[in-house]
Structure 1
Amino acid sequence: MTRLSGITPSGPVHVGNYLGAIRRWAREGDPADLYFVSDLHAMTTPYHPQKLRGRTRELLAILIAAGIEPDTVFVQSDLLPQLGPLTWVLECACAFGEAARMTQFKEKSADRSHEGTPVRVGLFTYPVLMAADILLQGADEVPVGDDQAQHVELARVLARRFNGTYGEAFVVPRAVTPPAAARVRDLADATRKMDKSASDSAGVLFALDEPDLLRRKVKRAVTDSLARLEYRPDEQPGLANLLEILGACLDKSPREVVAGFSSYGEVKDAVAEAVIEELRPIRERTLELLADPTELDRIRAVGGARATGRGSHRLTTVLRLAGVA
């Protein structure tokens, strides 16, 4: 059984990305699982080409540094010669109404943070590209959160439609809910998620931040004036966020780790040290890989070749059945 997971280089990786997904992939991944850097998805909203290129390499290095098997990792754009024609075939099988119903398109196209910037067609059609990502690799399962489940359902619809109309070519994937992850919030505002593309990074703990910077950010974390050391997410979201981060780093529950502290300052000190030690080997190995571009390019080429090989026969079959090969 093949599971496929992707992560978009829309910004630098933060501790929430690492604790919530990357570390779990490294610990629990099966040899048949696949992981990819979805750099094409980052093009659906305004971006800088040089930053995208750099973040893609950085994210690839972080995945490898975290302990994910290198030959299970690839970069999405390295499969463009396959994804291009497959996406077109799937777009021709997708109804306008099906694409228009995608919730993420509605939300992002209504976002006024880029006032005056036209909504890109790629934002409208990228769920079909995501379907191509999934179907090209023959993924059986796609672990996703609620915000992406609708896209996996579209992939299922398109796979069944193509198979029923032209002939069997695709595995029909299913969405699965990954294990509950740490709910990491912005340290400056615990009402919002920690976001790698946030405009203000004061409350975001990036995986490659220097230890001193991580420590300063944690010490400035917003808590409250109640001075009660309890895990109460609704009443004390800032403190609860710190306890959740600490618990995730120590593989304990937030309620377990709160015992023994006598002040918010002690909690912050413990969180800072736990995050620094959790990220230290990842940061060091990532920087080593980024300093050795030849080795990183070699790893990338191997993963890309393996992913291309997996999809080659399927694409050939699809194009033949569709009447264009």
Structure 2
Amino acid sequence: MTKTKVLTGITTTGTPHLGNYVGAIRPAIEESRDENIQSYLFLADYHALIKGRDPKRIHQSGLEIAATWLALGLDTDRVTFYRQSDIPEIMELNWIVGCMTAKGLMNRAHAYKASTQANQEAGESDLDKGILMGLFNYPILMAADILMFNANRVPVGRDQVQHLEMARDIAGRMNHHYKTRFVMPEAVVGENTAVLNGLDGRKMSKSYDNTIPLFVPEKKLLKLIRKIKTNSLEPGEPKDPATCTLFQIFSAFATEAEIAEKRKQYEAGAGWGDLKNELFEYINTVLTEPRERYNALMADPAFIEAELKKGAEKARAEAAPFLQDIRKKVGISPFA
């Protein structure tokens, strides 16, 4: 039976946090264990260059992200786990499909339109001021990532759905003009995907500097959890779990029975201090073993590099012959 190909990219611009884990990492690892799924997971380090300007941070982020996925149980024998920059075929495909991509299509990309809108509101006469080609061409590279492996499904946030539609448009133009065999990828928007709030009550995001890194030491984890914003209700006063970040985070890790018991504590007026300490104890117990594995992996970057090279070999074994077929179809091949 043909397996469904699912592709997920992780941009190497930050340290994985609790929100990343419950929203993307955990479901992707669980899905990769499905016998009917063929998973492709990659470090999107070329994409990171669009916003990242610190070479050391991008490099360190890649190491942290790879160690995180491995520490949480990703089976690299079951999946194709690779670094984008280790697959030169992707960048060659990026150029080929870019030559069949209408500039008007890229003009409609949300990120580009937002940047030109910001310039207009600032009174700039040049609406393209400060906009780099990496941002403008981002959807083309994303299309190359997806089409290189003919992914059937791509889990994305709502803000990325447009890019999947663009990838389909590009694939369709290639298939029509050159008779290539690109699969039409489908965006998968997780309607029930857990989204965690951060320390300040907004969505947990490095952009807001409100994250709880996944594998910080115990003392730091406790300190961060105690910083989570709560209201001024006193111990003994009933509290609404539906509006509480502490309850939201707990619910993302706990069982249904544990969640029901915790809800009773809120209704009975448990104090914020106790609720924060209990959340720390619960989360810390869940993360203790993965944290130990993560620290061991971070101390052995050669092992991580070997795992990524193994994934790159697997990826290139598929990408190279596919690209050769595409090159031939567009007219780039030996004369004899």
* Residue of structure 2 equivalent to 1:126: 138
Distance (whole Å) between structure 2 residues aligned to residue 27 and residue 299 of structure 1:
19
Structure 1 range deviating more: 96-105 or 223-232: 223-232
Kindly provide the amino acid, as one letter, of the partner of residue 241 in structure 2.
Y
Distance (whole Å) between structure 1 residues aligned to residue 118 and residue 14 of structure 2:
18
Structure 1 range deviating more: 248-257 or 39-48: 248-257
Query: Larger Rg: 1 or 2?
Result: 2
Distance (whole Å) between structure 2 residues aligned to residue 150 and residue 76 of structure 1:
21
Kindly provide the amino acid, as one letter, of the partner of residue 39 in structure 2.
D
CA contact (8 A) 1:99 1:127 kept: yes
Distance (whole Å) between structure 1 residues aligned to residue 304 and residue 259 of structure 2:
41
* Residue of structure 2 equivalent to 1:232: 242
- Does structure 1 residue 10 correspond to structure 2 residue 13? yes
- Does structure 1 residue 260 correspond to structure 2 residue 262? no
* Residue of structure 2 equivalent to 1:280: 288
Kindly provide the amino acid, as one letter, of the partner of residue 272 in structure 2.
Y
**CA positional deviation for 1:254:** 9.5
> Of 193, 217, 227, which residue of structure 1 is paired with 2:224?
217
Kindly provide the amino acid, as one letter, of the partner of residue 63 in structure 2.
R
CA contact (8 A) 1:246 1:254 kept: no
State the secondary structure of the residue aligned to 1:32.
strand
CA contact (8 A) 1:243 1:254 kept: no
* Residue of structure 2 equivalent to 1:20: 23
* Residue of structure 1 equivalent to 2:125: none
5+ residue gaps, structure 2: 123-128
State the secondary structure of the residue aligned to 2:242.
coil
Distance (whole Å) between structure 2 residues aligned to residue 100 and residue 134 of structure 1:
21
* Residue of structure 1 equivalent to 2:250: 246
CA contact (8 A) 2:164 2:186 kept: yes
* Residue of structure 1 equivalent to 2:51: 45
Number of residue pairs matched by the alignment: 311
State the secondary structure of the residue aligned to 1:37.
strand
**CA positional deviation for 1:280:** 2.1
Kindly provide the amino acid, as one letter, of the partner of residue 231 in structure 2.
D
Kindly provide the amino acid, as one letter, of the partner of residue 230 in structure 1.
D
CA contact (8 A) 1:14 1:205 kept: yes
Distance (whole Å) between structure 2 residues aligned to residue 170 and residue 161 of structure 1:
10
* Residue of structure 2 equivalent to 1:175: 187
Deviations 1:54-89 (A, max 9, x none): 11111111111111122421111111x211210011
Distance (whole Å) between structure 2 residues aligned to residue 136 and residue 76 of structure 1:
11
CA contact (8 A) 1:186 1:195 kept: yes
State the secondary structure of the residue aligned to 1:209.
coil
Deviations 1:244-263 (A, max 9, x none): 11011114399633222412
